[in-house]
Chains A and B, each alone.
Chain A
């Protein structure tokens, strides 16, 4: 390849480019934020500008794009032109997939590469689903929370399919790292969107058990608490009626450790009209720190008071919550 660092040959000395007149960048007379480009960068971009302006759709244009992208993979103009050339040449899209995967593995947090991958996957169609899913798994093996890769995976599932093993995959990632919030988010995506699982209504009960189990083993882990709430996002009445939910709060409160998230969920339950059993009242009572707190205040009020003390980073938030409790809460 010509782009190897040591053996880079200037375009001006390549016979196949002798007919092309390079176009220098017009930065104006007194440019700001000027970058001291290397000779290789400057000349490659001068030739790119030339064929971009002439609109040349050729194999040498494609290889020039590759060289330019190698120097700056976030130049969206080059990627865009590359797609135009690929379409005009009716190029081998499988070869293109190899090419872009290779770059994505080295630049996994780049918007342009993932946009290109999405464009390509949609062109390749359902047959590409399995390989695309496998590719994101390769990325997750290094960075399990790569935002672009998760978006890509979701778009592949929705556009091309491949849902069958997705819940198992989420489970696998959560077994490896139960704090991986991206995996929890994906799990929510699957149970609400998969055509094979019957939707949130079908999954709610078993997912509640799944989240509760995760909470009991790591009550300081915010992800399953938010997941649990999310299962009832559009139906707070179901949330307050499910005994599993109030019971997990009670269990954690009784341990008297990592109580913030349990109190916070309990507060939400009360705000939605939950009627607490006396055991919950006494568990909260046992956590009261400040003696000045009047014991006549409502349970929700008491909880806000405790949270203001045990969670000082958010004391203003808990004070705000306290001053805006719905009028009918317990």
Chain B
């Protein structure tokens, strides 16, 4: 297969779709096709391409090796800022995902430590306010219906901008009403009015409710029951009950359960076992059992394992007790059994014991073990050598084209693997935790929301420091 190392920018075929189309099947394979299945053949083809890259790395001089493992910051920033300013006509298929484009680009820039001009920042705030619906929530573009996924993207973009103007531009009252309108009787959420129900919808709703401090019992009720029904016999979490365990939904389901303080209701030992087995010989992660490696799962799977590092005491308790009788154990270590902690209407200050302040407490727990459960250096190798496009941007796998989605999630995955040996999420990693020069180090994130950690703190101060909304 011919594959040009210089790939032009091209949008993914669908949005927040964890699974992009695999490359067409090659017929000139030297194996006996009759003895191999489709899965096996496609896997071998990818393994060969990746092995070739690693062979070149191994045979390279120390100087070339360093260059190969370098993060090409300037080129990435150039690629990202170009997209912020102008996108070609073939991006029309992302016309209902423009807040996503903002988030993928702005979050990637923030990971790279790049700050924006005040005029650019104001343009983003202004544009997103054009996507905001009068009845609450953000749509995929001006005049479109509000949608949970683009609401998540818009809110995370504004939090990443971080200024008072950005944070105060969100209409929290109407957003809260929008979230309630999207709540289904099953406990889960719909993506939009009369839209599809799945675990992404649950995560995006709860993530914004949590970070904006508009969480309440009505949003949480029944949600944990729904997510539990999505944990499959394999251990990972599916998009909806009965479907196949999947990296993207596993992250969304796990993060949701942490944010509503019911994570101990998942069976964590089998979830961990499933996730760690998704890292393959290519060094990157696949999204599902026996599927091909893909750079975006560096975050969906790597991010889950980053969360797991903080949750290990709960997982360990589950390993010690029989499978069928898992006691309720909250992040605070008591066994309340109810979700009542999540709502705590009286507390309006920034206390650290509040149940509705889990995003904050999660970071402060400080119980992370010193080593991640996955091979974080190998993951960096996949991202830097197989996903990185030297002209800027990241891609799914060798032979694929770069896009903003993969740029965002490859960088986010690179970030969680760089900090995976840090005792606290923001302490500088030891050099053994890093692949390539130390200058590759990205800014640390809050893994529950995937926004920069210091931007999270800023938002926390802003939304939890203020008086809580009167309606709760």
A residues contacting B by CB (< 8 A) are: 23, 25-38, 41, 45, 49, 52, 71-77, 80, 83, 107, 109-111, 114-115, 118, 143-145, 147, 150-151, 154, 158, 176-182, 184-185, 188-189, 193, 221-223, 226-227, 229-231, 233-236, 264, 271-272, 312-317, 319-320, 324, 326-327
Is B62's CB within 8 Å of the partner chain A? no
Residues of B within 8 A of A178 (CB): 37
Residues of A within 8 A of B196 (CB): 111, 114-115, 118
Given contacts A109-B20, A154-B242, 6 further A-B contacts (CB under 8 A): A27-B142, A35-B87, A77-B145, A150-B244, A179-B39, A182-B244
Residues of A within 8 A of B135 (CB): none
Residues of B within 8 A of A33 (CB): 83-84, 87, 98, 101-102, 105, 127
Question: Interface residues of B toward A: which range?
Answer: 35 or more
Indicate whether A76 sits within 8 Å of B191 (C-beta atoms), given known contacts A26-B143, A30-B126, A151-B240: yes
Is B333's CB within 8 Å of the partner chain A? no
A171 to chain B, nearest CB (A): 15
Residues of B within 8 A of A317 (CB): 272-273, 276, 373-374
Whether B14 pairs with A109 at a CB distance below 8 angstroms is yes
Tell me, in angstroms, the Cα distance from A25 to B378 when the chains sit together: 46
A-B contact pairs, 28 of them (CB 8 A): A27-B127, A32-B124, A33-B101, A34-B85, A35-B95, A72-B92, A72-B96, A74-B14, A77-B145, A111-B14, A111-B17, A144-B38, A151-B239, A151-B242, A177-B38, A179-B43, A180-B290, A185-B232, A185-B244, A223-B290, A226-B233, A271-B319, A314-B279, A314-B375, A320-B312, A320-B369, A324-B316, A324-B320
Whether A35 pairs with B243 at a CB distance below 8 angstroms is no
Residue from the list A38, A229, A313, A327 in contact with B89, Cβ < 8 A? A38
B463 to chain A, nearest CB (A): 24
Tell me, in angstroms, the Cα distance from A264 to B269 when the chains sit together: 13
Residues of B within 8 A of A181 (CB): 244, 288-291
Is B141's CB within 8 Å of the partner chain A? yes
Residues of B within 8 A of A223 (CB): 289-290
Residues of B within 8 A of A41 (CB): 89, 92, 95
Residues of B within 8 A of A182 (CB): 244, 288
Residue from the list B21, B289, B323 in contact with A234, Cβ < 8 A? B323
Instruction: Please list the 8 inter-chain residue pairs (A to B) with the smallest Cβ-Cβ separation, ordered nearest first.
Output: A230-B233, A179-B39, A177-B37, A181-B289, A30-B123, A185-B244, A33-B101, A75-B96
Whether A145 pairs with B288 at a CB distance below 8 angstroms is yes
B147 to chain A, nearest CB (A): 6
| Closest Cβ neighbor of B147 among chain A residues | A76
Tell me, in angstroms, the Cα distance from A162 to B120 when the chains sit together: 55
Residues of B within 8 A of A49 (CB): 143
Is B86's CB within 8 Å of the partner chain A? yes
Tell me, in angstroms, the Cα distance from A3 to B192 when the chains sit together: 28
| Closest Cβ neighbor of B21 among chain A residues | A109
Whether A147 pairs with B39 at a CB distance below 8 angstroms is no
Is B338's CB within 8 Å of the partner chain A? no
Is B195's CB within 8 Å of the partner chain A? yes
Residues of B within 8 A of A234 (CB): 323-324
Whether B233 pairs with A233 at a CB distance below 8 angstroms is yes
Tell me, in angstroms, the Cα distance from A121 to B4 when the chains sit together: 43
Whether B123 pairs with A32 at a CB distance below 8 angstroms is yes
Residues of A within 8 A of B279 (CB): 313-314
Residues of B within 8 A of A236 (CB): 322-323
**Which chain B residues in 129-160 approach chain A with CB under 8 Å?**
129-130, 139-145, 147
Is B97's CB within 8 Å of the partner chain A? yes
Whether B14 pairs with A110 at a CB distance below 8 angstroms is yes
Residues of A within 8 A of B124 (CB): 32
B65 to chain A, nearest CB (A): 20
Residues of A within 8 A of B67 (CB): none
Whether A80 pairs with B195 at a CB distance below 8 angstroms is yes
A30, A114, A320: residue with the most chain B Cβ atoms closer than 10 Å:
A320
Indicate whether A147 sits within 8 Å of B239 (C-beta atoms), given known contacts A26-B143, A317-B374: yes
Residues of B within 8 A of A52 (CB): 143
Tell me, in angstroms, the Cα distance from A114 to B192 when the chains sit together: 15
Tell me, in angstroms, the Cα distance from A180 to B289 when the chains sit together: 9
Indicate whether A71 sits within 8 Å of B130 (C-beta atoms), given known contacts A33-B102, A34-B87, A222-B277: no
Tell me, in angstroms, the Cα distance from A185 to B233 when the chains sit together: 9
Tell me, in angstroms, the Cα distance from A158 to B243 when the chains sit together: 12
Tell me, in angstroms, the Cα distance from A313 to B381 when the chains sit together: 13
Tell me, in angstroms, the Cα distance from A33 to B106 when the chains sit together: 11
A322 to chain B, nearest CB (A): 12
Whether A154 pairs with B243 at a CB distance below 8 angstroms is yes
**Which chain B residues in 73-91 approach chain A with CB under 8 Å?**
83-89, 91
A178 to chain B, nearest CB (A): 6
Residues of B within 8 A of A23 (CB): 143
